[in-house]
């Protein structure tokens, strides 16, 4: 009888897995690793590169501004180009390095085999809310984009698990929200960006878990299907895979910046400068201000009841990056930069981020949910639920902040 032999890689994987899949150590290690990733992205590498790109965009904007002035372009067209297009699109583009940096680290974790371990560890936690570890894969994809994440739920064997996963995935913070986080972190939390990011991602996960308990108890009663997976050996990430992953994210971001965000920035500029009779007016008397003022009282208890903040959230349904482009057009301060301090305090800025994290995803994701669930009623109910959850969690966060003495 011959004993089976194990390769050196397999033995090394077993030793590492003792810690990374340990029932006590695994989750704290995962939180520490993600905290390190966010710190490097938002406080060190990504922030540094974004600042450089922002300076380049500011220089180009100033050059175009001077050129338009020399050419004596009509004031309205001048404003459209600088205050509308350059402010809207430029504010979003400056966060491209941050997004690429984050996905560089996430690609390394995935390519190394670590994320397979996280799925294995999460199986036990997910089973408590009525799902299996197989649901972790679509939900993890949701950290990149909700659309492919929702479509990835098709691979789940159980229809019950598939529907639950679709409904919980939007609570995972997609990459389209990164420019929102980046701008507010730079304005209000420049020295604690990694901690703020980690808290937002954990908040999304916790809300998904609590929602899972609710759905499992009231709507989708039953047991999840068994979860079986083979853990691959650890390996060094390949440069080709990492570069391809980063390029896909950058390409998608640039495509959205020069299509959806470009068009919405122009529309927002027009709505900001004209009233219903198409007369040029002050921004506070414009069409978009009228819309924002109607909805503003809903958000007043959350601390950001200004029409500018409300309008940015409404426009953000088209694409989450539009929240930033809208604020950049509506809240222009001295030098053309967004004056967020006039609309938010540090506490209300964080509350605003929590609401952006949890409220309904973009129209592309909603259309995908509608197609996968094959029900208008279920999609509308999900949107309503997400709005209520986002408002309630943001309200609780603000009340806790006020009790702790923050402002």
In the predicted structure, residue 68 carries a pLDDT above the cut 80: yes
In the predicted structure, residue 238 carries a pLDDT above the cut 60: yes
Task: Quote the pLDDT of residue 229.
Answer: 62
Question: Which is more confidently placed, 52 or 6?
Answer: 52
In the predicted structure, residue 336 carries a pLDDT above the cut 80: no
Question: Which is more confidently placed, 310 or 23?
Answer: 310
Token pair 């959205």: residue: 256
- Both structure tokens of 336: 């053309």
Say how far apart CA 371 and CA 217 lie, in whole Å. 25
Q: What is the pLDDT of residues 180-204, one digit of tens each?
A: 999 999 889 988 888 999 999 999 9
3-state helix, strand, coil in the chain (%, to 5): 75, 0, 25
- CA 160 to chain centroid: 26
Asked which of 88-92, 117-121, 335-339, 346-350 is least confident by mean pLDDT, the reply is 335-339
Task: Quote the pLDDT of residue 249.
Answer: 83
Task: Quote the pLDDT of residue 1.
Answer: 44
Look at residue 338 and give its three-state secondary structure. strand
In the predicted structure, residue 19 carries a pLDDT above the cut 50: yes
In the predicted structure, residue 363 carries a pLDDT above the cut 90: no
In the predicted structure, residue 215 carries a pLDDT above the cut 70: yes
Task: Quote the pLDDT of residue 7.
Answer: 67
Task: Quote the pLDDT of residue 397.
Answer: 95
In the predicted structure, residue 2 carries a pLDDT above the cut 60: no
Residue-wise over 291-324: b if at least 16 C-beta within 10 A, else e?
Answer: bbeeebeebeebbbbbbbbbbbbbbbbbbbbbbb
Q: What is the pLDDT of residues 247-261, one digit of tens each?
A: 888 888 888 888 888
Q: What is the mean pLDDT of residues 17-28?
A: 83
Say how far apart CA 55 and CA 57 lie, in whole Å. 5
Q: What is the mean pLDDT of residues 221-228?
A: 62
DSSP H helical ranges for 283-341: 287-299, 307-315, 322-330
- H-run or E-run covering 339: none
List of residues 6+ apart from 231 with CB closer than 8 A: 13, 17, 21, 113, 116, 117, 120
Token pair 């371990």: residue: 117
Task: Quote the pLDDT of residue 338.
Answer: 66
pLDDT band at residue 139 using 50, 70 and 90 as cut-offs = confident
Q: What is the pLDDT of residues 315-334, one digit of tens each?
A: 888 888 889 888 888 876 54
Q: What is the mean pLDDT of residues 367-377?
A: 88
Q: What is the mean pLDDT of residues 88-113?
A: 86
Look at residue 332 and give its three-state secondary structure. strand
Percent of the chain with pLDDT strictly greater than 70: 93
In the predicted structure, residue 59 carries a pLDDT above the cut 50: yes
In the predicted structure, residue 4 carries a pLDDT above the cut 70: no
Asked which of 3-7, 342-346, 348-352, 371-375 is least confident by mean pLDDT, the reply is 3-7
Task: Quote the pLDDT of residue 332.
Answer: 62
Say how far apart CA 109 and CA 220 lie, in whole Å. 33
Say how far apart CA 177 and CA 189 lie, in whole Å. 16
- Both structure tokens of 108: 């390394």
HSE toward the beta carbon, residue 217, CA cutoff 13 A? 7
Say how far apart CA 148 and CA 154 lie, in whole Å. 10
In the predicted structure, residue 406 carries a pLDDT above the cut 90: no
- CA 297 to chain centroid: 25
In the predicted structure, residue 142 carries a pLDDT above the cut 90: no
- Both structure tokens of 315: 């426009």
Q: Dihedral through CA 197, CA 297, CA 360, CA 158, nearest 10?
A: 110
pLDDT band at residue 222 using 50, 70 and 90 as cut-offs = low
In the predicted structure, residue 51 carries a pLDDT above the cut 80: yes
In the predicted structure, residue 401 carries a pLDDT above the cut 90: yes
pLDDT band at residue 137 using 50, 70 and 90 as cut-offs = confident
Percent of the chain with pLDDT strictly greater than 90: 23
């Amino acid at each position: 009888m011959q004993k089976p032999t194990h390769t050196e890689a397999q033995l090394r994987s077993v030793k590492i897995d003792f810690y990374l899949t340990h029932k006590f150590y695994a989750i704290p290690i995962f939180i520490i690793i993600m905290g390190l990733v966010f710190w490097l992205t938002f406080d060190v590498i990504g922030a540094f590169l974004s600042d450089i790109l922002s300076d380049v965009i500011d220089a180009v904007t100033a050059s175009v501004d001077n050129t338009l002035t020399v050419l004596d372009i009509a004031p309205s067209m001048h404003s459209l180009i600088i205050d509308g297009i350059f402010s809207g699109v430029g504010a979003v583009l400056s966060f491209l390095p941050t997004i690429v940096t984050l996905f560089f680290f996430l690609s390394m974790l995935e390519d190394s085999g670590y994320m397979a371990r996280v799925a294995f560890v999460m199986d036990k936690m997910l089973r408590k809310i009525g799902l299996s570890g197989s649901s972790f894969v679509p939900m993890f994809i949701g950290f990149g984009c909700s659309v492919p994440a929702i479509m990835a739920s098709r691979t789940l064997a159980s229809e019950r698990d598939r529907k639950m996963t679709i409904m919980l995935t939007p609570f995972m913070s997609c990459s389209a929200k990164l420019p929102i986080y980046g701008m507010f972190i730079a304005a209000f939390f420049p020295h604690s960006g990694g901690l703020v990011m980690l808290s937002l991602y954990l908040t999304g996960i916790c809300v998904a878990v609590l929602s899972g308990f609710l759905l499992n108890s009231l709507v989708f009663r039953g047991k999840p299907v068994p979860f079986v997976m083979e853990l691959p050996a650890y390996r060094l990430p390949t440069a080709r895979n990492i570069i391809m992953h980063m390029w896909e994210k950058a390409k998608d971001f640039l495509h959205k910046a020069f299509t959806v965000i470009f068009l919405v920035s122009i529309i927002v500029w027009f709505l900001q400068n004209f009233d219903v009779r198409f007369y040029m007016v002050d921004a506070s008397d414009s069409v978009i201000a009228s819309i924002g003022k109607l909805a503003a009282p809903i958000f007043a208890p959350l601390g950001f009841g200004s029409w500018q903040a409300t309008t940015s959230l409404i426009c953000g349904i088209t694409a989450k990056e539009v929240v930033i482009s809208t604020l950049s057009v509506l809240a222009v301060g001295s030098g053309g930069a967004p004056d967020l301090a006039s609309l938010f305090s540090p506490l209300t800025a964080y509350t605003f981020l929590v609401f952006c994290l949890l409220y309904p995803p973009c129209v592309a994701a909603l259309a995908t949910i509608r197609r996968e669930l094959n029900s208008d009623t279920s999609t509308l109910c999900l949107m309503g639920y997400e709005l209520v959850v986002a408002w309630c969690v943001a309200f609780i966060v603000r009340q806790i902040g006020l009790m702790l003495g923050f402002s």
